[in-house]
């Protein structure tokens, strides 16, 4: 079979990522030009580490969005003739080059790596966001009010954190768990928190102005209610929000394991910040507790929380890869990086190319998130 030269492979890979390079140029170029007006995000461009970290994260984010344009072919298509063939091998039937070679089933490794980014970007950031909404909604009153509420929630959080993470993940995503009521119950509880968080946010700000409060609150209830019914699988006429059972299990497992840690961080920050003078001044003015928590304490805790969020998305990415490696990913045929690494590992002594690209992709994304977190930490310390 005809095989491309190494230089031709590199050029073809760079060309396939053309839409991503263009998107990065537009986003980072515009952001750099307007960096002085973009707050914390704009200050990332004052740090070389921040630029590199954000560039790596943005690269994989745009790759996930443009995967259909970047990939050479369908990641599930099997070409028997290209089974375990080396990088650059050209398919005689279609004339397309398998840039990173073929795997043990004759699927294009490059296309599977590209589409695998969608799994990570669809679960890790959004699951972390949900976990933060839960942790903030419960951690603020636990730290500010204290009492039995703090005692009970702290006990539950410590109970969850006492379990080994991988073992708890394994228990929550096994196929047997789908036959029980546990996923549905967890979804019903967890997915209400984003709506609750936004509602409390608006209520604390506009409680004394009912006409303004309902103007903002009504769309939140309608849109949030529709999203809640769709995510829990109760009612979704569009079919856009309903998750596959495997994906739902993994998503809920990430939220369940991440939320207690976020709760403890928010609680600790609240215990510290509530002793500051500006909080005492707000109490003297007669401000209500939720107003103080949302508008006085939370803004002053945003720095550590943003840094931790970047790191936590990286941890979640590693955990997703670990689950896929153990065969507990979103689906057996999924091109997620963990599953692809596991499949390539079986023949690693003979063929290196099936496992290496997804491993490097996973490493680069986590590296980007860690560098971005370091840059944000530097900015937080300056503030």
The string of DSSP codes covering 15-28 is: HHTHHHHHHHHHHH
Query: Lowest mean pLDDT: which of 122-136, 156-170, 293-307?
Result: 156-170
Contact 112, 75 (CB under 8 A): yes
Residue 90 DSSP SS3: strand
34 φ/ψ angles, rounded to the nearest 5 degrees: -110, 20
Span 313-334, mean pLDDT?
A: 80
Per-domain boundaries in the chain: 6-116+347-382, 118-314
97 φ/ψ angles, rounded to the nearest 5 degrees: -90, 130
Q: Which carries the bigger pLDDT value, residue 1 or residue 115?
A: 115
Pairing mode of beta strands 97-98, 89-90 = antiparallel
C-alpha to C-alpha distances, 152 to 139, 267, 290, 378, nearest whole angstrom: 12, 13, 20, 35
Span 276-296, mean pLDDT?
A: 92
Contact 126, 109 (CB under 8 A): no
CA–CA separation, 166 and 111 (whole Å)? 29
pLDDT value at position 183? 87
Residue range 43-58, pLDDT digits in tens: 889 889 999 999 999 9
Cα-Cα-Cα-Cα torsion 366, 323, 161, 121, nearest 10 degrees, comes to 40
Residue range 209-224, pLDDT digits in tens: 888 999 999 999 999 9
Which residues share a beta bridge with 90? 97
pLDDT value at position 377? 84
pLDDT value at position 276? 92
Query: Lowest mean pLDDT: which of 18-22, 122-126, 237-241?
Result: 237-241
Contact 369, 57 (CB under 8 A): yes
pLDDT value at position 332? 66
- Asked if pLDDT for residue 348 goes beyond 80, the answer is no
- Among 153, 330, 362, which residue's Cα sits nearest to residue 253? 330
90 φ/ψ angles, rounded to the nearest 5 degrees: -100, 130
CA 158 to chain CA centroid, Å, is 24
């Amino acid at each position: 079979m005809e095989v491309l030269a190494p230089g031709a492979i590199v050029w073809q890979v760079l060309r396939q990522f053309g839409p991503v390079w263009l998107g990065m140029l537009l986003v980072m170029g515009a952001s750099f030009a307007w960096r002085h007006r973009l707050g914390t995000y704009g200050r990332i461009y004052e740090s070389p580490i921040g630029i590199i970290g954000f560039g790596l994260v943005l690269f994989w984010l745009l790759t996930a969005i443009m995967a259909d344009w970047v990939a050479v072919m369908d990641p599930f298509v099997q070409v028997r003739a290209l089974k375990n063939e080396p990088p650059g091998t050209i398919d005689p039937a279609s004339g397309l080059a398998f840039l990173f070679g073929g795997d043990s089933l004759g699927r294009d490794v490059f296309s599977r790596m590209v589409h695998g980014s969608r799994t990570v970007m669809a679960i890790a950031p959004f699951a972390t966001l949900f976990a933060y909404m839960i942790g903030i909604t419960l951690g603020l009153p636990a730290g500010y009010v204290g009492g039995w509420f703090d005692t009970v929630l702290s006990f539950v959080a410590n109970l969850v954190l006492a379990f080994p993470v991988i073992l708890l993940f394994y228990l929550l995503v096994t196929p047997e768990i789908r036959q029980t009521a546990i996923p549905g119950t967890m979804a019903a509880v967890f997915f209400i928190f984003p709506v609750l968080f936004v509602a409390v946010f608006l209520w604390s700000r506009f409680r004394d102005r009912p006409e303004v409060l309902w103007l903002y609150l009504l769309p939140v209830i309608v849109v949030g209610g529709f999203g809640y019914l769709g995510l829990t699988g109760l009612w979704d006429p569009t079919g856009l929000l309903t998750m596959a059972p495997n994906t739902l299990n993994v998503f809920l497992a990430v939220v369940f394991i991440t939320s207690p840690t976020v709760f403890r961080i928010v609680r600790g920050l609240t215990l510290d910040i509530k002793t500051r003078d500006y909080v005492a001044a707000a109490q003297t003015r007669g401000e209500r507790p939720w107003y103080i928590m949302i508008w006085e304490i939370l803004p002053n805790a945003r720095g550590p929380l943003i840094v931790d969020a970047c790191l936590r998305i990286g941890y979640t990415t590693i955990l997703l890869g670990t689950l896929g490696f153990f065969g507990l990913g979103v689906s057996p045929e999924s091109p997620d990086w963990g599953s692809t690494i596991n499949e390539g590992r079986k023949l690693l002594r003979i063929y290196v190319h099936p496992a290496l690209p997804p491993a490097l992709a996973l490493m680069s994304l986590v590296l980007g998130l860690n560098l971005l977190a370091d840059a944000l930490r530097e900015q937080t310390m300056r503030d």
